[in-house]
C-alpha cells in the first residue's frame, strides 16, 4: 500500500509557480477562516489559532488521504450557533469539548463506511441528487458573496463597496478570459493584489479611506497563538456535537463536488472513509487546542474550478502559509486589511463556478428532465437548499436544526429512494 498516492500531481509546473498557486488559495480561504473566530471573539476564540490549526489540520488531512485530494480545511460556520449557546452557558472550553466529540462522530462514521463499504453510501447520491446538491453548495453561498460585495460584510465602506467588488470581479474576468500562460492560472491572486493596490493608493493619497493600517502597525512580527485547551462538559457536548449529523452530509456532498470538478472518484480512491477520517480528526484536533471546527472549503473548490490546477501539493503549500500567518500576527493583520468587498466580487465568480459544476454534472450524466421524478427531486433539493428551510429536532433536552444543504441532501436522498423509476433516470422518453 502506497503511503502517498497523488495522481493529480502537476509535474509541468515549477516550484516557484506552485508556491504562487498555493498563496492564491491562502488569500482565498483567509477571510472566511478568520471570520468564524472573529464572530466568536467575545467568548475568547482567537483568529491566529484558527489559521494555525487550519494549516496543521489540512496537512493532517492530506496525510490521511494519501495526499491525493485537493482540499483545504477551514473554519466551519455550521457550528457557530451551538458554540455561542454552549459557550454562553458553560464557557468556551466546554464548547470546544463539544466540537471534539463532533469530530469523533466523523471518525465513527468513517469506521462504518470502511466496514460496510462506500458503495452503499454512494448509491444514495446518483447524479440527479449529486448535481443538484453541488448547485445548492454554490447558490447557497450566493447571498454571502452579495453581502460581502455590497456592504463589505457589514457597513458599506464610504459607499464604495460595490465599486471595489466590481473592480475585483472585472480583473478576475479579464485574467481568466484574456491572459495567456501561467498568469491565466492566477486570476484570484491577481484580482486581489491589483484591487488591494488600487484601494491602498486611494487611501494613502487621501482621496477616500478604504483601508485601516493601524492594526498592521500594532501587530508583532512573531508570536505563538493563544491556545485554549478543551474541557468536556456533558451538557455542552449535547448542545454542540449533534451538528455533526448535518456537516457529515455536507462533507460527502463537498467531496463529490470536488470529484466532479477534477473528474476523479475520491469516494473510491483514496476512499470516503479516509476523507471522513481526515475531516473528523482535523476537527477534533483543532478544537482540542482552541480552534473552530473544520470543513472542506467551497471557496478553494471554486478556485479549482476556475484555474483547473488540481495538484493537492498546492493546497499543502496554502496550509504552510496559513501556519506561518498564525505565527506572524503582522502578516495576518496585513491580509485582514483587504476590504471584504474585494473578496465579495471574486466570490461571485467562485461560488457561481461551483453551481455551474453541478449543472454540468446533470448534463454529463444525461439526467432526463422529461421524467417527473427527476423534476421533483431537483425542485425540492434546490428550494430547500437555497430557500433557507430548517427542520427542528430534539435529542433529549438538546434542540438543533437540520437545514440548508444538509436538509436538501437528506430529502433528495429519500425521494430518490422512494419514487419509482430511479433505474431509468437517464433514459429518454
Residue 399 is predicted with a pLDDT of 64
Contact 372, 424 (CB under 8 A): no
Whether 408 is covered by a domain: the verdict is yes
Whether 3 is covered by a domain: the verdict is no
* pLDDT tens-digit map of 209-233: 777 777 777 777 888 888 999 999 8
In terms of pLDDT, which residue wins out, 42 or 380?
A: 380
Residue 362 is predicted with a pLDDT of 87
Taking Cα atoms as reference points, which of 52, 54, 73 lies closest to residue 224?
Answer: 52
What contacts 373, CB < 8 A, 6 or more positions away?
A: 415, 419, 420, 421, 422, 425
Domain count across the chain = 1
| Residues above pLDDT 70, as percent of the chain | 88
Whether 10 is covered by a domain: the verdict is no
Does position 11 have pLDDT exceeding 70, yes or no?
no
Question: How far is residue 182 from each of residues 68, 169, 306, measured CA to CA in Å?
Answer: 23, 19, 13
Whether 9 is covered by a domain: the verdict is no
Whether 6 is covered by a domain: the verdict is no
In terms of pLDDT, which residue wins out, 408 or 185?
A: 408
- The pTM assigned to this predicted structure is 0.71
* pLDDT tens-digit map of 246-276: 678 778 878 888 888 888 888 888 999 999 9
Residue 361 is predicted with a pLDDT of 80
Residue 278 is predicted with a pLDDT of 95
Distance separating alpha carbons of residues 60 and 56, to the nearest angstrom? 6
Ramachandran region, residue 271 (left: φ > 0; alpha: ψ -120 to 50; beta: rest): left
Region 155-172: mean pLDDT is 77
pLDDT mean across residues, the chain: 82
Residue 316 is predicted with a pLDDT of 94
Contact 176, 153 (CB under 8 A): no
Whether 284 is covered by a domain: the verdict is yes
Region 14-21: mean pLDDT is 84
Residue count of the chain, please give it: 429
Residue with cell 445548492: 136
pLDDT band at 147 (very low <50, low <70, confident <90, very high): confident
Does position 106 have pLDDT exceeding 90, yes or no?
yes
Contact 297, 123 (CB under 8 A): no
Burial class of residue 294 in the structure, from the number of CB atoms within 10 Å of its CB (0-12 exposed, 13-18 middle, 19+ buried): buried
Taking Cα atoms as reference points, which of 62, 26, 80, 69 lies closest to residue 299?
Answer: 26
Whether 5 is covered by a domain: the verdict is no
- What residue numbers bound the domain in which 71 lies? 17-424
Sign of the Cα pseudo-torsion (42, 44, 45, 46, in order): positive
C-beta atoms surrounding 337 within 10 Å: 17
Among the residue ranges 227-241, 255-269, 329-343, 361-375, the one predicted with the least confidence is 329-343
Taking Cα atoms as reference points, which of 393, 308, 378 lies closest to residue 133?
Answer: 378
Whether 304 is covered by a domain: the verdict is yes
Question: 401: which strand partners?
Answer: 392
pLDDT band at 428 (very low <50, low <70, confident <90, very high): very low
Amino acid at each position: 500500500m502506497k503511503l502517498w498516492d497523488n495522481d493529480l500531481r502537476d509535474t509541468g509546473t515549477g516550484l516557484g509557480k506552485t508556491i504562487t498557486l498555493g498563496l492564491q488559495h491562502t488569500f482565498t480561504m483567509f477571510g472566511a477562516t478568520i471570520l468564524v473566530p472573529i464572530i466568536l471573539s467575545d467568548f475568547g476564540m482567537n483568529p491566529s489559532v484558527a489559521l494555525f490549526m487550519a494549516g496543521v489540520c489540512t496537512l493532517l488531512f492530506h496525510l490521511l488521504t494519501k495526499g491525493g485530494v485537493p482540499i483545504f480545511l477551514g473554519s466551519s460556520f455550521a457550528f457557530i450557533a451551538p458554540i455561542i449557546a454552549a459557550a454562553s452557558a458553560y464557557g468556551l472550553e466546554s464548547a470546544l469539548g463539544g466540537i471534539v466529540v463532533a469530530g469523533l462522530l466523523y471518525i465513527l462514521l468513517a469506521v462504518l463506511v470502511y466496514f460496510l463499504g462506500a458503495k452503499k453510501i454512494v448509491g444514495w447520491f446518483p447524479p440527479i441528487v449529486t448535481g443538484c446538491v453541488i448547485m445548492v453548495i454554490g447558490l447557497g453561498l450566493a447571498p454571502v458573496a452579495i453581502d460581502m460585495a455590497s456592504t463589505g460584510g457589514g457597513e458599506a465602506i464610504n459607499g464604495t463597496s460595490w465599486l471595489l467588488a466590481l473592480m475585483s470581479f472585472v480583473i478576475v474576468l479579464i485574467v481568466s478570459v484574456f491572459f495567456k500562460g501561467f498568469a491565466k492560472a492566477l486570476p484570484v491572486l491577481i484580482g486581489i493584489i491589483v484591487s488591494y493596490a488600487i484601494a491602498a493608493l486611494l487611501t494613502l493619497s487621501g482621496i477616500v479611506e478604504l483601508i485601516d493600517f493601524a492594526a498592521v502597525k500594532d501587530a508583532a512580527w512573531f508570536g505563538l497563538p493563544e491556545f485554549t485547551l478543551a474541557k468536556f462538559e456533558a451538557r455542552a457536548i449535547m448542545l454542540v456535537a449533534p451538528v455533526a449529523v448535518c456537516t457529515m452530509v455536507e462533507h460527502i456532498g463537498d467531496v463529490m463536488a470536488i470529484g466532479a470538478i477534477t473528474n476523479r472518484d475520491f469516494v473510491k480512491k483514496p476512499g470516503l472513509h479516509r476523507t471522513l477520517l481526515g475531516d473528523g480528526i482535523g476537527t477534533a484536533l483543532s478544537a482540542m487546542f482552541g480552534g473552530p471546527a473544520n470543513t472542506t472549503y467551497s471557496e478553494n473548490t471554486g478556485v479549482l474550478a476556475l484555474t483547473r490546477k488540481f495538484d493537492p501539493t498546492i493546497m499543502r503549500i496554502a496550509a504552510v502559509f496559513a501556519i506561518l500567518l498564525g505565527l506572524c500576527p503582522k502578516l495576518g493583520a496585513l491580509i485582514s486589511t483587504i476590504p471584504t468587498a474585494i473578496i465579495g466580487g471574486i466570490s461571485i465568480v467562485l461560488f457561481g463556478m461551483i453551481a455551474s459544476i453541478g449543472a454540468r454534472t446533470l448534463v454529463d450524466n444525461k439526467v432526463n428532465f422529461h421524467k417527473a421524478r427527476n423534476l421533483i427531486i431537483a425542485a425540492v433539493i434546490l428550494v430547500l437548499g437555497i430557500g433557507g428551510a430548517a427542520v427542528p429536532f430534539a435529542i433529549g433536552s438538546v434542540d438543533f436544526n437540520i437545514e440548508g444543504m444538509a436538509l436538501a441532501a437528506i430529502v433528495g436522498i429519500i425521494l430518490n429512494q422512494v419514487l419509482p423509476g430511479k433505474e431509468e433516470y437517464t433514459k429518454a422518453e
